[in-house]
A and B are shown apart, each in its own frame.
Chain A
Amino acid sequence: MSEEILQVENVKKYFKIGPNQTVKSVDGISFAIRRGETFGLVGESGSGKSTLGKTIVGLYPATSGKIRFDGHELGNLDRQTQRKLNREMQMIFQDPHASLNPRMRVGDIIAEGIDAHHLAKGKERQELVYHLLERVGLRPEHAERFPHEFSGGQRQRIGIARALAVKPKFIVADEPISALDVSIQAQVVNLLDDLKQEEDLTYLFIAHDLGMVKHISDRIGVMYLGKMMEIAESSDLFEEPLHPYTQALLSAIPIPNPRLARKRERIVLSGDPPSPVHPPSGCRFRTRCPYATDICSKVEPAWKEVKKNHWTACHLYNQ
């Protein structure tokens, strides 16, 4: 077995949104996720995180590029392998309200994948559902209830149970805690952590909250306007962010300590992110970058390993 469970090579995902308009939501991204790790993905709204996640699990066909999962290249697979991968790669969504069918009982929601993949029937199916409910901290009798009878955090647990039901190897969790209260976020993060250990899972964890991403991830990737700006071990990224965008992003996190918060100086970016329909030439961050020079508008910076296991794309590191 290869150490890398997922390899993404120069993947692009474009959406045509008008006769002459294309959004380059994901525009040439390469990276790999190691078996058993949690890879965090951060970046501004609209930077392409969800699109990348959905393309990886096959919910969107890639416009170009290669995705390899566990040795299989996505896109040209026989039906049986395709079904196997559909089961092994699962996704958990941000809004636990919108992603659960309000007219279905919780037990049937959780068993959706079990039924689709014919994993169990009758009594065995029921036992499995009860077991899954307990795995995520709910009770067997909850199987008979409907989603609206649950709180946000409980609904997110139901979504997690549904994903776990088909025994996946890899889960894309797209902002699984963003809609939850602070006190409930910690419950769900701990649950995801425990499940990962017990079920040998690998995660792609997409989030806005950099504190939580740091807590849960082994490595972190930073996206901006459809491109990867930096990838590093999570502690390295926080201790020594290389890319000017990452530096600004980290310095913008509000610190929950009133004394430190009052002392610190932060890098405040001017301006708004440009439209992904007309991204800037050269480096995409140049319109907001405090260090931008001539070359930044002309030449796209190369993706480079600047320090061990620490990659970035910025001309500052190209001497």
Chain B
Amino acid sequence: MSHLLEVEHLKVTFPTYGGEVQAVRDVSFYVDQGEVVAIVGESGSGKTVTVQTIMGLIPAKNIKDGNVRFNGKEILHLSKKEMRKLKGSEIGMVFQDPMTSLNPTMKIGKQIAEGIRKHQKLSKAEAKQKAIELLRLVGIPNAEERYHQYPHEFSGGMRQRVVIAIALACNPKLLIADEPTTALDVTIQAQILDLMKELQKKMGMSIILITHDLGVVAEMAQRVIVMYGGTVVETGTVFDIFENPKHPYTWGLLRSIPNLHDKEKKRLVPIEGSPPDLFSPPKGCPFAPRCPYAMEICVEKNPTPFHISNGHTANCWLNDPRAPKVEAFIAEGRE
């Protein structure tokens, strides 16, 4: 069976004064119908550029290589018009800052209704009715009154619900959410995550969720893609990644968060060093300068994905049968 979304060998660069930024170097992954897939990684690792490419937000001249197929159809080089149609009907997007997606001078309800009318043949009255339903669906109380308010009259959490309502207006098959709760408080984050889970079940859509919060990943995702330095370094089910990770960067990520259940205070184990320089990425493994297990080959050759188990791959030479066995990472009592 073919995947809902398939990204293959994507490469995106940006010319800047300092040189060419290699934002996305070789990214491949897929998303199946009804799945929640999380993308995690440091800031600058290429998460946003990857999903912006899928959404047709990156100019063609910056896309150096790769394919993106949606429902089996290549969408990387669609015309503006075709892309708009796809976005209005099949793919919805939610950004970190809800204000970037809302027009501050236009009433909330009207923004949703207009969005609906752009893509569906409905009368004004029908679109208004549908907009009010959507506001209710995302849990905005007094939807009829709220319909007539402006974005600044809404709190941050409510604005993000509105953005989700707009993204859902077309009943998308795929919702792409780039750090949708990063700007929100934990109690509001919990409301939004519950909302997304509930809607995902109800409507059977797929979600790509970008987040840097491993707690959010554990709670929401079925599968996880770990990115580092513009590449995918590990991918697997949420259980593969949390319970049997096979890449030193993933080990480092899991170890650097405190364990809420520790009785005594233990010292945190950070990943030493700084994130990679995307102007001149190393020819070998991008994590090598920070990796405590780096070997000679790591600096020479970028590892290809090693197959660990069904659907679980890791781009790390340690998984080569000839590599020395390093002490396996155990998330000791992490709960």
Contact = CB atoms under 8 A, between A and B. Distances in A.
B145 to A, nearest CB: 15
A44 B187 contact: yes
B133 interface: no
A187 B256 CA distance: 9
A184 B270 contact: yes
A208 interface: yes
A290 interface: no
A238 B260 contact: yes
A193 B267 CA distance: 9
A27 B264 CA distance: 35
Interface stretch (B171-179, B207-215, B316-324): B207-215
A254 to B, nearest CB: 3
Interface residues of A, number: 44
Contacts of A153: 274
Interface stretch (B71-79, B99-107, B155-163, B297-305): B155-163
Interface stretch (A17-25, A66-74, A84-92, A258-266): A258-266
B196 interface: no
Given A181-B275, A256-B214, A257-B335, A208 B156 contact: no
Which of B214, B243, B268 has the most A CB atoms < 10 Å from its CB? B268
A249 B253 contact: no
A212 B256 CA distance: 10
Interface residues of B, number: 48
Contact of A252 (B141, B157, B189, B265): B189
Contacts, number: 128
Which of B267, B270, B334 has the most A CB atoms < 10 Å from its CB? B270
A211 B258 contact: yes
Interface stretch (A94-102, A107-115, A267-275): A267-275
Interface stretch (B2-10, B54-62, B81-89, B216-224): B216-224
Contacts of A266: 190
Given A182-B212, A183-B271, A190-B270, A211 B187 contact: no
Which of B212, B213, B219, B254 has the most A CB atoms < 10 Å from its CB? B219
B203 interface: no
Given A153-B274, A182-B253, A272 B269 contact: no
B335 to A, nearest CB: 5
B279 to A, nearest CB: 13
B260 A253 contact: yes
Contacts of B269: 186
B272 interface: yes
A121 interface: no
11 contacts: A183-B270, A184-B275, A185-B256, A186-B268, A186-B270, A252-B186, A256-B214, A256-B218, A261-B219, A269-B187, A272-B188
Interface of A: 44-45, 151-154, 181-187, 189-190, 193, 208, 210-212, 214-215, 235, 238, 248-249, 251-262, 266, 268-269, 271-273
